[in-house]
Structure 1
Amino acid sequence: MRAITMHEFGGPEVLKLEEVPDPEPRRAEVLIDVTRAGINYADIHVRENTYLSPVEMPYIPGNEVVGTTPDGKRVIALTQGGGYAEKVAVRRALHWEIPDSVSDQQAVPLALQGNTAWHTLFTVARISEGEKVLVPAAAGGVGSLAVQLAAQVGATVIAMASTEEKRQLALGLGASAVVDSSTEEGLTERIKDAAGGPVHAALEMTGGTTLHQTVAALAPRGRLAVYGFAGGDLTDVPVHTLLQNSISVAGFWLPHLYAAERGTLLARSTKGLFAAVSNGTLRVIDGGTYPLADAAEAHRALASRSVTGKVSLDTCK
């Protein structure tokens, strides 16, 4: 089969299209013929050797796919590597049949980015109706879904984005106010101004100064859900501020749910995501689909922060 294989860490140029043996599924796995492979910022961390868990070379990146099972079912699936390929073996508990009302392009972000948005909001941050919620990178894959999910439960969403076009997109998705995240100067006060005061909960995926300023924008007993460090700065959390305002901070990494209740937590959230897409209350933003051979170009586009929504690979091209 064709696959994008890494033999070393580095820039996008380390992503090479190669012919490799088909994977052999284990007893608890099923072999999927991949039609779409989702690209996530975690894949950039893998390529740069800054991911949360180490990988061994040679390595095929990719942690979410759309494809078909041997019995012909269309499914989405979570993988732990191997997704940038024509075939991948996935755990039976981590793939879910796609309803006929949901297209492949709509389905491709739901396994990883959709579930990340869902669980950061509802499992970790525990948002509820009437609360003010800060969503960063609001035009990105996770952020664009999180804006909509939070708004649908009656939260007031304050969305951060780096360009006017992205901020207008966030407003169109249900955000009540937007904040320019292209500069960190005065970010805390700009968040409070947009929200009409401190926020009750916030998602965070940048790190560094942005994390500090996000914490400072939280109300007493506020909750912060950290799901990334795209800026590359693993800064310390300001403990004095946490104590002073009784702020709760929780990290979130989706793979920790893979074994939880044998995947039932993910099964329930995935069912909810499918239902929301089917009834039109959740809109998937297409950030562009690249041929499998152009994985390096897709990585460059994602890293440039110039795209909105979901970037994916078409393994049939």
Structure 2
Amino acid sequence: MRAIQITEFGGPEVLVPTELPDPEPGQGELLLDVSLIGVNFADTHQAENSYLAPSSLPMVPGGEVAGHTADGRRVVGLLSGSGGYAERAVVDPNLAYDIPDGVSDAAALALIVQGTSAWLLLRKTTRISPGESVVVHAAGGGVGTLAVQLAKQFGAGRVIAVASTEEKRKLALELGADAVVDSAAPDMTAALIEANEGRRVDIILDMVGGRVTDESMRALAPFGRLGFYGMASRELPSPVKLPNLMRFSTTVGGMWLPHAFLLPGDVVGQAMNELFTMVAEGSLRPILGQTYPLAEARRAHEDLRSRGTVGKLTLDPSL
């Protein structure tokens, strides 16, 4: 089968098209003929071995695929760390979800990581209450475009979208944001408070890191919460000083999707069912970005790292 393999860690240049044997499913596992592959920002960290879970070589990167089982089911699934950038992939049935009618493969891929991440950040990490203000950094990305919409669906009083281009900020307004902020604002604290009509904000969803995180935290209202789920800038924010959390009555929480599968009650399944229903009914609109041929995975990573992309990126193994 055709696949992308990494034999040394590094940037997008380490993603090399190759031919590999088909994967062999273990007992109870599902072998999928892959129709579409999801590309996540975490994949760029995986390629350079800077992700939360360490990688080992050689490796086929990628953690999510949509495809068909041998008996014809249309499934979207997560892989155990890697193996997604290929024509065939093996998934654990506990990490796979049947795609309902009315939801495309691309939309399902936009939901299984980005959609569930946005849902968890709002429902679990920051525990949104009706009427609260929500800041969404990277609002033009896969998580951001869904988080803007879900925040409104979950009763946010005011949604502030932060994005790097005029095109992304315009899209955020179309998706329901009440105000937008340029991610290059020289003083993010002041920009967020101004966008919230002079008031400090209740919730911030942040996957940027560095200066943006530091200045965003200073914009939190008493009992405000920051949900941290990535570090696209590859810059560490300042260490959180515990006395300051008490001084300002603020909370900082992290979210890593694999931990959601450890929660009782199939929380991810609950999120997927809710998200699938919203998409099928038309109340949630996954923003589908560019689809690249499988062999151009390097270009997809280059584009993603440049922060010039909008919405969910995918690879098509048939191209």
Q: Shorter-chain TM-score: which interval?
A: over 0.9
Say if 2:227 is the partner of 1:246.
no
Q: Deviations over 1:215-253 (max 9, x none)?
A: 111111111111001111223224343221121111100
Contact 2:110 2:288 in 1 (8 A): no
Identify the residue that residue 70 of structure 1 maps to in structure 2: 70
Identify the residue that residue 273 of structure 1 maps to in structure 2: 275
Letter in 1 for 2:83: G
Identify the residue that residue 26 of structure 1 maps to in structure 2: 26
Contact 2:10 2:48 in 1 (8 A): yes
Contact 2:146 2:285 in 1 (8 A): yes
Letter in 1 for 2:252: V
Query: Within 2, Cα distance between the matches of 1:260 and 1:316?
Result: 36
Query: Within 2, Cα distance between the matches of 1:149 and 1:32?
Result: 30
Identify the residue that residue 6 of structure 2 maps to in structure 1: 6
CA shift, 1:259, in A, is 3.4
Letter in 1 for 2:202: H
Query: Within 1, Cα distance between the matches of 2:145 and 2:28?
Result: 34
Identify the residue that residue 297 of structure 1 maps to in structure 2: 299
Query: Within 2, Cα distance between the matches of 1:76 and 1:229?
Result: 26
CA shift, 1:214, in A, is 1.1
CA shift, 1:130, in A, is 0.5
Query: Within 2, Cα distance between the matches of 1:6 and 1:258?
Result: 27
Query: Within 1, Cα distance between the matches of 2:134 and 2:244?
Result: 19
Aligned length: 315
Query: Within 2, Cα distance between the matches of 1:188 and 1:231?
Result: 18
Say if 2:214 is the partner of 1:221.
no
Contact 1:139 1:161 in 2 (8 A): yes
Contact 2:9 2:47 in 1 (8 A): yes
Letter in 2 for 1:87: R
Letter in 2 for 1:169: L
Letter in 2 for 1:73: R
Q: Which moved more, 1:69-78 or 1:252-261?
A: 252-261
Query: Within 1, Cα distance between the matches of 2:15 and 2:108?
Result: 25
Gaps of 5+ in 2: none
Q: Deviations over 1:171-218 (max 9, x none)?
A: 0001011111124x2110110010121111111111111111111111
TM-score scaled by length of structure 1: 0.96
2:314 to 298, 312, 315: 312
Identify the residue that residue 259 of structure 1 maps to in structure 2: 262
Q: Deviations over 1:84-128 (max 9, x none)?
A: 111111111110001111111222211111111110111111112
CA shift, 1:47, in A, is 1.1
Give the share of equivalent positions with the same residue, in percent: 50
Identify the residue that residue 210 of structure 1 maps to in structure 2: 212
Contact 1:163 1:182 in 2 (8 A): no
Q: Deviations over 1:268-294 (max 9, x none)?
A: 100111011101111111210000000
TM-score scaled by length of structure 2: 0.96
Query: Within 1, Cα distance between the matches of 2:88 and 2:128?
Result: 38
Query: Within 1, Cα distance between the matches of 2:263 and 2:191?
Result: 38
CA RMSD, Structure 1 to Structure 2 (Å): 1.2
Query: Within 2, Cα distance between the matches of 1:46 and 1:234?
Result: 18
Identify the residue that residue 88 of structure 1 maps to in structure 2: 89
Q: Which moved more, 1:27-36 or 1:94-103?
A: 27-36
Contact 2:134 2:159 in 1 (8 A): yes
Query: Within 2, Cα distance between the matches of 1:87 and 1:237?
Result: 43
Say if 2:109 is the partner of 1:113.
no
Contact 1:178 1:194 in 2 (8 A): yes
Q: Secondary structure at 1:51's aligned position in 2?
A: coil
Q: Secondary structure at 1:71's aligned position in 2?
A: coil
Q: Which moved more, 1:233-242 or 1:291-300?
A: 233-242
Contact 1:63 1:112 in 2 (8 A): no
Say if 2:140 is the partner of 1:139.
yes
Contact 1:212 1:238 in 2 (8 A): no
